[in-house]
Structure 1
Amino acid sequence: MSRADTIHEPGAEALRLVSVTKRYGTGGSAVAALNGVSLTLAPATFTAIMGPSGSGKSTLLHCASGLDQPGEGQVFIGGVPLRYGSETEVTRFRRGRIGFIFQQFNLMPALTVRQNVALPSRLAGVRVDKRRCADVLTRVGLDHRRDHRPGELSGGEQQRVAVARALVSNPTLIFADEPTGALDTRAARDILALLEESVRVFGQTVVMVTHDPVAASYADSVLFLADGRIVGRLADPTAAVVAERMTQLGDEVAGRRAGRDS
């Protein structure tokens, strides 16, 4: 059985994108960051998103998670369409469904670890579940640091706080944008192990943008983007095979761009 062989209800889906397009700019200067992207991800799977710079990786993550609105197409979370109304309506939809982990942590420096983890609940006007916060901090190995502030923590510890913050609402989907990009090797392994645990033990679905073939090797599969389109998929990835595919993809993209510029 491969790592991607997860038991779930037939037809169940965690995430589906249908012909999602996102353009920046107007008129002749408009650039399609995403160009008709369609994909479906099953529950309890770990997917890495990779591609050359400017391929649309972060835009895909932002549109899929509700942080940005596609110009065209539709996003479904657990079979339910993501509807874009007011910021309050989108936040309400995302709560309990979606957690997001940023590369640069995005922690509030004046708040303690415990307060940072509880912040999304407070901003949403929801009663803070202190027991849940404590359980999540224990899970990420930071219960003993709960009263420290971000400036007193290492980079790896700060990212674990960010992971705890994403997990505290027990979301079905976790999006991570280069979550190990600012970390050393050991801290990166810790974060990737936490994401793996979210999938294998807790049945959550993880979608991670990364440039690192080693990080991608933790996933069940890798989706490759180029020029705003999905151009390949690799199941049960190894770091070596991912690195080789990325080199090939970079050469192909560079060749196309050189042809357009000539």
Structure 2
Amino acid sequence: MRTDTSNLALRLDGVVKEYGKAGRAVRALDGVTVGIERGSFTAVMGPSGSGKSTFLHCAAGLDRPTGGSAFIGDTELGGMNETRLTELRRKRVGFVFQAFNLIPALSVRENVELPLRLAGERLDPAWLEEILTRVGLAGRAAHRPAELSGGQQQRVAIARALITRPDVVFGDEPTGALDTMTAKEILTLLRSCVDQTGQTVVMVTHDPVAASYADTVLFLADGRIADRMEAPTADRVADRMTHLGAWA
């Protein structure tokens, strides 16, 4: 029986990723199959070397699987050349990294607009204002990144990720460089993007508190999905992490 994939923002089917040459290859992902629903918040956790970053890179089209298939919506990434993959990432995927990756010479507004300009898309001024308001930067549009706090810079990065109305926003340790209070503000903002506008967020993190903001936590160990947890709490996630190696 065919599985209904119409409500999936992304999926991996038997994804394998190896680095290095045959005989000495390291298998970073070992047959990962998972579907992530639209309008959900998923955290991806695991010990160092478990395959978290590789999972994100393959799911987002930043890296090609050695085997298996990766999809954004119903679009399979494997058959695309680099030009088409770049176009897909610009239009249908948003990224928020630990390092904010803003361009210092550009204003907040210009940084947020950048994905649309690179994609050759028309800017909707009303949508830009709505995004800046949503992330709490409506009065800072003309500022440069150096004039903002770390938390404000990450808000710019989130606005930039949302501006193309992407299928999925991927976060790679998005609160890793922030203090505890600022991290809480950023996680609350990501949570509100899911709850209020139906955005799909997939976040790699090592922090059980950050993971507790998600609907679902996927636990990776040795390149495989070892477990998943619905409605996570920080304590339950932390406890699961301490037993993950032994369990695997």
Shorter-normalised TM-score: what interval?
over 0.9
- Secondary structure at the aligned position of 1:27 is classed as coil
Percent of residue pairs identical: 60
1:59: how far off? Answer: 0.8
* SS of alignment partner, residue 29 of structure 1: coil
1:12 is the counterpart of 2:14: no
Match of 1:66 among 47, 61, 80: 61
Whole-angstrom CA distance in 1 between matches of 2:81 and 2:13: 22
Query: Over aligned residue pairs, what C-alpha RMSD do you find?
Result: 1.7
Contact between 1:22 and 1:72, CA under 8 Å: does it hold in 2? Answer: yes
**Could you say which residue in structure 2 is the equivalent of 1:113?**
108
1:169 to 164, 174, 177: 164
Contact 2:9/2:37 (8 A) holds in 1 = yes
CA distance in 1, matches of 2:104, 2:6: 43
Q: Distance in 2 between matches of 1:140 and 1:161?
A: 8
C-alpha contact 2:90 2:118 (8 A) present in aligned 1: no
Give the counterpart of 1:229 among 203, 224, 244.
224
**In 2: Cα distance, 1:190 partner to 1:200 partner:** 15
Match of 2:185 among 174, 181, 190: 190
Tell me how far 1:81 sits from its aligned partner: 1.6
**1:31-110 correspondence to structure 2 within 5 Å:** 31-110=26-105
Is residue 6–residue 74 contact of structure 2 (8 Å, CA) maintained in 1?
no
C-alpha distance in 2, partners of 1:157/1:38?
Answer: 36
Q: Counterparts of 2:166 and 2:130 in 1: how far apart (Å)?
A: 15
Q: Which moved more, 1:193-202 or 1:50-59?
A: 193-202
Asked if the contact 1:84/1:90 (under 8 Å) is kept, the reply is no
2:239 aligns to what SS in structure 1?
helix
Q: State the match for 1:146 in structure 2.
A: 141
Alpha-carbon shift at residue 12 of structure 1 (Å): 2.0
Where 1:99 maps in the other structure, the secondary structure is strand
Equivalent AA in structure 2 for residue 206 of structure 1:
V
TM-score between the two structures when normalised by the length of structure 1 = 0.89
Check 1:182–1:250 CA distance in 2 against 1; reply closer, same or farther (3 A cut): farther
Query: What is the TM-score of this pair, normalised by structure 2?
Result: 0.93
- Give the gaps of 5 or more residues in structure 1: 1-8, 254-262
Query: Residue in 1 aligned with 2:154?
Result: 159
